[in-house]
Structure 1
Amino acid sequence: MQQTIALGEPYPVFGTQWSDAPSPGDSQAKNRTTRKPWTPTEDLVLISAWLNTSKDPIISNGQRLDAFWKRIAIYYEASDKISDEDKRGPTNCKQRWAKINESVCTFVGSYEAASAQKTSGQNENDVMKLALDIFFNDYKHKFTMKHC
């Protein structure tokens, strides 16, 4: 005897194929938070936190790396420019700092090249425009961290 299933009707489910428990992917998706992009204000507070923490004459470089980034995160969170929903942990601060540092250091090379090409009558705005053009030509994307 051949059993037929009409389209649109539920197919038969066998005991080993069905479970009422959520799949592991479902619970992970519910626990995952959405990525919140950094604002220019947050970047500036992070830069200030890094500078003030790294230049501290009392502790100086006599601290472990994880303690250093914890201090930066505490300084960052203590800023009155950061709201409660904008709090970031030490790992977030470290990752963002790495991105800022790499991008700005790369741009500094373009800025130095533009400064070397400065001619009589050009002002700082002209040099900055040339540096942005050099950066774009070299790296094929715009420099987006002028605020840093």
Structure 2
Amino acid sequence: MARSPSFVNLLASQGSVDLDSLETPFFSSQCPEESSVKERRKWSVKEDIILIGAWLNTSKDSIVSNEQKAGAFWKRIVEYYNSSPLLVGTVPRELGQCKQRWARINDLVYKFAGCYDMALREQRSGQNEDDLMKQALDIFYSDQNMKFNLEHAWRELRHDDKDKRKPVDSPVPEPEERPIGVKAAKAAGKRHKTGKEEE
């Protein structure tokens, strides 16, 4: 059986292989899109915070506000993100990368916010912020079967009340007292008068 020079039998070979001396595999010369696949870059905490800032600033723009199509909205976010002076010297991110990262941040932060709210409702006397955080992280781990590693993102988004998006950190609001109706007010007035008359 004739073998091409780029084939290396890893099961039979115990010696070292010089990968630089091997020819380029057949498919990469035939399929240019295969060779242009970009390496995945991890997002740093700094990049996450810049992306969140870009999203918040763009979504709260009082001039354009929410009167923009999704494509234009994300184009503005990516431009804002890539123009950050904190990212000088780094490879710019593309729209798809920013959109995917935001989706992940938004999803996990929203889930963690629910865990934090649960920990807040179960808060016992004497527990501080660190205790609440530990309890929320434990709840998240048991619910999602993974560690929550976006605490920096949650801290950036926890007080954001953007109505277009799911609330990231909104504790259960206290029910407001309903204003009294006309009939109830008249009935209360009559009861009040009759009470004075009896005195």
TM-score (norm 2): 0.61
Q: How many residues align?
A: 131
- Please state how far the C-alpha of 1:26 moved relative to its aligned partner: 5.8
Alpha carbons 1:54, 1:60 under 8 Å: kept = yes
Q: Aligned residue for 2:102?
A: 97
Cα deviation for residue 27 of structure 1 reads 3.5
* Deviation for aligned residue 1:28: 3.5
CA distance in 2, matches of 1:69, 1:147: 22
- Where does residue 23 of structure 1 map in the other structure? 27
Matched, 1:132 2:127: no
Measured against aligned partners, the alpha-carbon deviations of 1:55-108 in whole angstroms (never above 9, x if no partner) come to 000000111110000000010011111134331122211111000000000000
Q: SS of the counterpart of 1:85?
A: coil
RMSD over equivalenced CA pairs, Å = 1.9
Query: Is 1:35 the counterpart of 2:40 in the alignment?
Result: yes
TM-score, normalised via structure 1 length = 0.81
Q: Which residues of structure 1 form unaligned runs of 5+?
A: 1-6, 12-21
Tell me, yes or no, if the aligned pair for 1:114 and 1:127 is still in contact at 8 Å: yes
1:18 corresponds to which residue? none
Q: 1:75 aligns with which of 59, 72, 80?
A: 80
Could you list the runs of 4 or more consecutive aligned residues of structure 1 that deviate by over 4 angstroms after TM superposition?
Answer: none
Supply the distance in 2 between the matched residues of 1:34 and 1:69 (Cα, whole angstroms): 22
Unpaired runs of 5+ residues, structure 2, are 4-25, 154-199
Q: Larger relative CO (CA 8 A, sep 6+): 1 or 2?
A: 1
